[in-house]
Amino acid sequence: MTPDEIKELRELIEFLKEYDIGDFEFERGDFKMVAAPYVCAGETLPREPAPALGQDTERLLAECGLSRETVADLRRRGVI
Domain locations along the chain: 1-45, 50-80
Alpha helices in 1-80 (DSSP H): 9-16, 57-63, 68-76
Give yes or no for a contact between 47 and 70, defined as CB atoms under 8 angstroms apart.
no
Q: What is the pLDDT of residue 3?
A: 74
Segments in the chain below pLDDT 50: none
Does the predicted TM-score (pTM) go above 0.75? Answer: no
